[in-house]
Amino acid sequence: MNFSPILIVPGERKSIFFEIFFKSLKLKSISSPLVLICDKKNLDKEKKKYRFNKYIEEIKLDQISHKKFYKKKIYLINIKYLSSKYYVQECFRVAFKIIKKGYAYKLINGPINKTKTLNKKYLGVTEFVAKNFKQDKFAMLIYNKNLSVCPVTTHLPLNLVAKKITKKTIKEKIIIINDFYKKILGFKPKIAVLGLNPHCESILKFNEDEEIIGPVVRFFKNKINIKGPFSADTIFQKNNRKKFDIIVGMYHDQVLTPIKTIFEYDAINITIGLPFLRVTPDHGPNEKMIGKNISNPMSLIRSLEFLDIR
């Protein structure tokens, strides 16, 4: 039987990815075939270091169209490492090619050094992936089955956030979120929207919460299950957050800081609005932890679990 594979771009050669990848497969049985897209020499080195003995079958890119993938097997497409500047981008290029040709629709990427790999051309990997699929409407969802968050702006310097908070942008994010929950997760979400300013108040003449965010929430009344704007300093209290499936914030740390405090590694990063499922563990390369074998694999386990049943 031919199973739909999960493509995996491990990311930076120097990261904790293979440590948590091997730990994940020892702790959790994943039915879907896994296709690693990375440098074979580095993979072999990591396998030896972490004593991972499961057989990995090497395949060629041109075999994908007629390859039969089998349950619980691991495959490798070898991308020879030539330079750090282009290596990760080449791994992504191969993954994107496979997806665009329709041979796979599920992708996990490991931690990426955004400054080094993206050369400051993109705010983050979310934007890099979306751009390669010509998607202008997308969103970053930090997902946990009990509560998720989505920032309207992502890796944007704080002094630029207010300029990017528009009715159009917020509406697009809410529609993308609502559609994802209905189509992929199978239910209509309860959405909370946060204000931009402390307590949704401002001493300035123009208050974004009253002029932009509030009208957007009212626009969706009787169309989407949505409420707000709420003050960010109290919405994450237990009795408040349990009323919602997702909290939409105006900027990155407004919602990522509390969600990571609540769930730590038990959350995943999903790029929603793409023509395929792209998931990544919700943490970075963690170079300070390389080789210590103490990194927590939970976020990668959740990423694999999420895609395994879809």
Count CB neighbours of 43 within 10 A. 20
Q: Provide the pLDDT for residue 1.
A: 52
Structure tokens at 216: 């957007």
250 close to 153: Cβ distance less than 8 angstroms? yes
DSSP-assigned letters across all residues of 153-213 = S-S--HHHHHHH--HHHHHHHHHHHHHHIIIIISSPPPEEEE-SSGGG--SSS--HIIIII
Q: Provide the pLDDT for residue 232.
A: 97
Structure tokens at 240: 């408040």
- CATH architecture of the domain with range 137-268: 3-Layer(aba) Sandwich (3.40)
Q: Provide the pLDDT for residue 120.
A: 78
Task: Name residue 193's amino acid.
Answer: V
Residue 81 to residue 110: CA distance in whole angstroms? 16
Task: Name residue 136's amino acid.
Answer: D
Structure tokens at 134: 């010509």
Residue 41 to residue 69: CA distance in whole angstroms? 23
Closest CA to 158 of 197, 192, 114: 197
Question: DSSP alpha helices (H): ranges in 206-297?
Answer: 208, 214-219, 238-241, 252-263
Please give the DSSP secondary-structure letter assigned to residue 272.
E
Name 262's Cβ contacts closer than 8 Å, sequence gap at least 6.
147, 236, 241
Residue 305 to residue 310: CA distance in whole angstroms? 9
Rg (C-alpha) for the chain, rounded Å, is 20
Q: Provide the pLDDT for residue 11.
A: 93
255 close to 149: Cβ distance less than 8 angstroms? yes
* pTM of the model as a whole: 0.95
Task: From first to last of the 310 residues of the chain, give the pLDDT tens digit.
Answer: 568 999 999 999 889 999 999 999 999 999 999 999 999 999 999 999 999 999 999 999 999 999 999 999 999 999 999 887 789 999 999 999 999 999 999 999 998 887 778 877 898 999 999 999 999 999 999 999 999 999 999 999 999 999 999 999 999 999 999 999 999 999 999 999 999 999 999 988 899 999 999 999 999 999 999 999 999 999 999 999 999 999 999 999 999 999 999 999 999 999 999 999 999 998 777 778 888 898 999 999 999 999 999 9
161 close to 251: Cβ distance less than 8 angstroms? yes
Q: Tell me how far CA of residue 232 lies from CA of 122, 132, 221, in angstroms.
A: 27, 33, 21
Residue 22 to residue 16: CA distance in whole angstroms? 10
Sign of CA dihedral 11, 15, 20, 23: positive
C-alpha dihedral (115, 118, 123, 126), degrees to nearest 10 = -120
Domain ranges for the chain, please list them. 1-135+274-310, 137-268
Q: Provide the pLDDT for residue 44.
A: 97
Q: Provide the pLDDT for residue 2.
A: 60
Q: Provide the pLDDT for residue 107.
A: 98
Q: Provide the pLDDT for residue 112.
A: 87
178 close to 186: Cβ distance less than 8 angstroms? no
Number of helices (H), then strands (E), belonging to the chain: the values are: 12, 12
Reduced DSSP (H G I as helix, E B as strand, rest coil) percent helix, strand, coil of the chain, to 5: 40, 15, 40
**1-135+274-310, what's its fold?**
Isopropylmalate Dehydrogenase (3.40.718)
Residue 103 to residue 30: CA distance in whole angstroms? 19
